[in-house]
Chain A
Amino acid sequence: MAESPDHISCQELVELVTGYLERALPPAETALFEQHLNFCEGCVWYVDQLRRTMAATGRLGADDIAAEDRDRLLAAFRGWPPS
């Protein structure tokens, strides 16, 4: 953590950003994080970059189920007698 407990540096903020976005920081660190964002445009942009990165990863999405894989599962289900 910071040498001075009353603020964090940009270099420290970039390592806390996941904890912040996951809402996992202790209240004191959350306060320091948000206080830093109040005066540092560069870190506001950095956090925005992280949020956009997360959204871009989300847009990769996932493959739809192939018909043959669905059929195979349903066939297996028919052969699965509930006791």
Chain B
Amino acid sequence: MSLSSPQDTATPEELELVAAICSGDEDAFAAAVERHYRAMLAVAKAYVVAADVAKQVVHDAWMAALAESDRFDGSTPLRAWLLRFVVRRAAPLAAQPDGDSPATAKPAVEPDRFRGRADAFPGHWRAYPRDWRALPDEVRRGQRARAVVEAAVEALPVEQRVVVTLRDIVGCAPRDAYDILELPDAVARERLHQARCRVRAALERHFDG
């Protein structure tokens, strides 16, 4: 479930909403909270495990955003602008440092699943991965598969979990997700790659038994 459709800049309606908030319109503020709180909490939880800490991070992020609301210029979608306040507060609280971790980079697929250099087709599959389209829907989308995905996302290093949360759970556009994290594109994309490949591998182990 994507929480929003990706967009490049704020909509005129978002600019009006923020202007109303700046003028003290509580209904406008409540509407913004309704629309963006879930995404903000999801991102906070990607950094900090404890629910009460994550909620406090989101509360503080709203207060910080309010304090700077007159500076919202619409150059990013409102959600992306709000999420930056979450990241700034949550990142220092993360259990692991939110830095580069090249040591943890793994191949997307175990190298022994591909033919070696001496083989006829080096680098090609020894045996094809399974066609998941042939799996029954209740296996592919059932509670057990969901639990596997949830556990795999929880087991990710924090810097990978954050980017996959922004892209695949919150549904931020790539540009917005990378900007929110203030990361070079290549770094953010490599973390996303690691994250998605690890979750895929967990699902594959589950499906292949």
Contact = CB atoms under 8 A, between A and B. Distances in A.
Interface of A: 9-12, 14-15, 17-19, 22-24, 40-43, 45-46, 48-50, 52-54, 56-66, 69-70, 72-74, 76-78, 80-82
A78 B193 contact: no
Contact of B146 (A9, A59, A73, A78): A59
Interface residues of B, number: 63
Given A11-B114, A64-B38, 12 more contacts: A9-B124, A14-B109, A42-B124, A45-B132, A48-B131, A53-B149, A62-B39, A65-B41, A76-B62, A77-B66, A78-B26, A82-B22
B74 interface: no
A10 to B, nearest CB: 5
A69 B61 CA distance: 13
Contacts of A82: 22-24
A24 B185 contact: yes
A49 B29 CA distance: 40
24 contacts: A10-B124, A11-B109, A12-B123, A14-B108, A15-B108, A18-B193, A18-B197, A22-B174, A42-B124, A42-B125, A42-B128, A45-B128, A52-B140, A56-B149, A56-B199, A57-B196, A59-B1, A60-B146, A60-B149, A64-B38, A65-B34, A73-B59, A74-B33, A76-B59
Interface string B103-122: 00001110100100000011
